[in-house]
Structure 1
Amino acid sequence: MQDLKIFLFRIFQRLRKASLSKYIAVLLAAGIWMLAFDRLNLISRYRVQQQIETLKQDKAHYQSAIKSLDYQEGQLFSDPEQLERFARERYHFKRSREDVFVIVPKADSPQ
């Protein structure tokens, strides 16, 4: 009788280890699948996160550029002399009876 109990106990332990190893194998396979082959795997998540960071930096850059341009616009439209200076420098506007000379540096000469 004692031998039968020991025998059944050993069989139960082996079955338990085998069933646990099956669960571990399934969990391991599912984990590998999610990490490497799934649509939202770690590699694609890392790439998307890098793109998000780049886009956040671009957004901050463009927001600061917009603030700067808004300030310049306020300065130009509040002062007619500033507007005239800007138009003359940027677009080569001139008054009547006035000649405008534009000096263009040569491409091969260093400045």
Structure 2
Amino acid sequence: MPKIPRVLLRIVANKYLLAFVVFFVWMTFLDDHNFISLFQNQQKLHKLNADKAYYENKIESDRRKLKELQTDSRNLEKFAREQYLMKKKNEDIFIIEEK
């Protein structure tokens, strides 16, 4: 059976190194607030903040459109014709789709 070198034995027997290794393993895999879940939660937070910014911009855009529709009857008629394909009695509608 080969002898373990004295230097390697001193490193393994070092109480500070042993405590650090146990702490690292605990914080990486075993704890409820481990490093892995912390990283995943930060990624989710980043995505949610991006979604929040998108929806805030969308809400602001929709508010501007709503105000525009409520203030001018011509804009309301234009919106109804474009979005809901409404027409007057004596008109025909031609829909042109682009590929």
What is the Cα-based RMSD across aligned positions, in Å? Answer: 2.0
- Percent sequence identity over aligned pairs: 36
Q: Give the number of equivalent residue pairs.
A: 87
Structure 1 residue ranges without an equivalent (≥5): 1-20
* More RCO (CA 8 Å, sep 6+): 2
* TM alignment of 1:1-111, pairs within 5 A: 21-22=14-15, 25-26=18-19, 28-105=21-98, 107=99
Distance 1:52 1:99 in 2: 51
Aligned to 2:89, what secondary structure does the other structure show? coil
Q: Could you state the TM-score of these two structures normalised by the residue count of structure 2?
A: 0.75
Gaps of 5+ in 2: 1-13
Distance 2:97 2:64 in 1: 29
Deviation >4 Å, runs of 4+: 21-24
Which of the pair has more CA radius of gyration?
1
